[in-house]
Amino acid sequence: MGKKVVNYVEMASKEARGFRPWDRASLVSWLKLFVGMEMPERGVCEGHGTPLDYLCHSFFEEKGDAVVWACRGGGKTMVGAVATLLDLLFKPGIQVRILGGSLEQSEKMYGYLLGLVQGRFPEMLKGSPTQRRLELVNGSRVEVLAQSDRSVRGQRVQKLRCDEVELFDEGVWQAAQLTTRSGKTQNAKHKTQNGEGIVVRGSVEAFSTMHKPDGLMRRILKEEEKGEGRKRFSWCVWDVMERCPEERKCEGCALWEGCQGRAKNGNGFVPIEDVIAMKSRVSQATWEHEMLCHPPRVEHGVFPAFRREMHVRSAEGQVFGPGARIIHEGRLFVVEGIYGGVDFGYRGPFVCLWMAMLREGSKPDSPRAVWVLDEMLVREQTLVRNVMAMRDRKWDVVRVYCDVAGKGVNSQTGRSDERVLRDEGFLTRCREMKIDEGIGVINDLLNPAVGFPRLLIDPRCQHLIAAMESYERGKDGQPIKDGVHDHPIDALRYALVNHDGVGSKTEWRLY
């Protein structure tokens, strides 16, 4: 059909609803007029998105599988049904399958879809739908699969939507990865302007909360962090909660501790009173990982004191030049400067963290505080390019702290990794240290014996935040080098230990 521009507002008719939305704005209009749904267009929590972000990715066939990690009651299953409706209507001949963590979960998404089709697009149905299958007159079809290896194997479809994957059998999940294939729509009415059919990417989409510290959802998200072909879409209860009325006072509200007034900017669909009721029924731990999308605590976590609500703070609007003054928790801190922490890597990621080193008051031995401002995590890129990318960031770095192993000659460059940093104008510092030496410093800042937390992380540092929550100790009590979460932690501990010269002899390098 091509990108025929339609003003849906002026043309709210059966004819208009058959024109395929061509961008985010037209999709919003189409959903509102013809499905009766108003999607939040932005999240209120930094680093989070909304169901609309996922719908655009899926409907406009953007590259990569999708993993939707969202709160309980946040519309995951319904938005999966809406994505399926859009596919069926505007991608003739597409084959979609719905696979839930249980047959009941699969039928729930299908039930939402069936209600939408029968209620708003009955003329598009080809025959009578069954309890597990429906087909449209344009050749599109959707079926519900049972949670079994036999049901999944042998499928060859364009879209597989997996609901509540935390409940999946591991073998079924693995078999599901081999079910999809790409294709093109063939219906003459649904072709692009150059006469080609719409390309439909073969994709597996996962929807779930995460409530198991070592469950399938956590592993899927670890794969996404490694850049292994999936794109994450996350939203918590604050991102989808309805706007709090101006007349409603924050003082005394049961949600104030976590909300902090964010609901005043809300644009979602979950009623406030429902959220208050849900919070009153569950434990704090369940509230955090089911409703706020915080990963469940691992039994042997390296940083048990870390809490997003305590340690994640936006640095926007602050000035971090040397000597600048910052008020935190009612106390005055003086900025020593901005420093970098680097963990070298190629197949394992290269990580750089930028952090402001602070002192309370003006005395050089007064309590330390650290605010991590930014991060860079890059895979399979040369060190020279990574260091040039560091220079392109806005931060005026006083010094870069790195792994002592960086003094060895790199086979790519013929120079040591540390030397590459110095040749690009960075002053460096490194020394040998034990892992637990830096871990101890980090834990002391997270949860000091006296006073408030002294390690803050800006929300943009998503890899570091994930590492703080998921870095584990093995059975031997030592931190596990998992290849994902250890690298950001290494960059942080190199900086903290080197900066204050804790422990053994420090080595200075200035050329």
Q: Is the pTM of this model over 0.85?
A: no
Categorize the per-residue pLDDT at 410 as very low, low, confident or very high, splitting at 50, 70 and 90. low
Tens of pLDDT, residues 176-220: 998 888 887 765 444 444 445 678 999 999 999 987 776 888 888
Q: b vs e for 41-54, b when ≥16 Cβ sit within 10 Å of the residue's Cβ?
A: eebbbeebbbbbbb
Is residue 463 left, alpha or beta, with left meaning phi > 0 and alpha meaning psi from -120 to 50?
alpha
pLDDT tens-digit profile of 11-24? Answer: 556 667 778 898 99
Q: What is the 3-state secondary structure (H, E, C) of 112-146?
A: HHHHHHHHHCHHHECCCCCCCEEEECCCCEEEEEC
Q: Assign 3-state DSSP to the chain and report helix, strand, coil percentages, each to 5.
A: 35, 20, 45
The C-alpha angle 24, 30, 35, rounded to 5 degrees, equals 125
Question: The tokens of 62 are what?
Answer: 């953007």
Strands 199-200 and 183-184: antiparallel
User: What band does 61 get if pLDDT is binned at 50, 70 and 90?
Assistant: very high
Alpha-carbon distance 361 to 234, whole Å?
39
Residue 438 pLDDT exceeds 50: yes
Compute CA distances 218 → 75, 116, 167, whole Å. 20, 32, 12
What band does 299 get if pLDDT is binned at 50, 70 and 90? low
Residues 487-496 pLDDT 10s: 999 999 999 9
The span from the first CA to the last CA of the chain, in angstroms, equals 64
Answer for the pair 160, 143: CB distance below 8 angstroms, yes or no: no
> Rounded distance, CA 140 to CA 78, Å?
19
Q: Which residues pair with 428 in a beta bridge?
A: 400, 509
Cα angle 432-433-438, degrees, rounded to a multiple of 5: 145
Mean pLDDT of 70-93: 94
Burial bucket for residue 351 (CB in 10 Å: 0-12, 13-18, 19+): buried
Mean pLDDT rounded to a whole number for the chain: 85
Domains of the chain, CATH where assigned: 1-36 (no CATH), 41-237 (3.40.50.300), 239-291 (no CATH), 308-509 (3.30.420.280)
* 14-18, 263-267, 467-471, range with the lowest pLDDT: 14-18
Distance CA 479, CA 213 (A): 16
pLDDT tens readout for residues 130-168: 999 999 999 999 999 988 888 888 778 999 999 999 889
Are 451 and 316 in contact, with CB atoms under 8 Å apart?
Answer: no
Residue 298: predicted pLDDT? 63
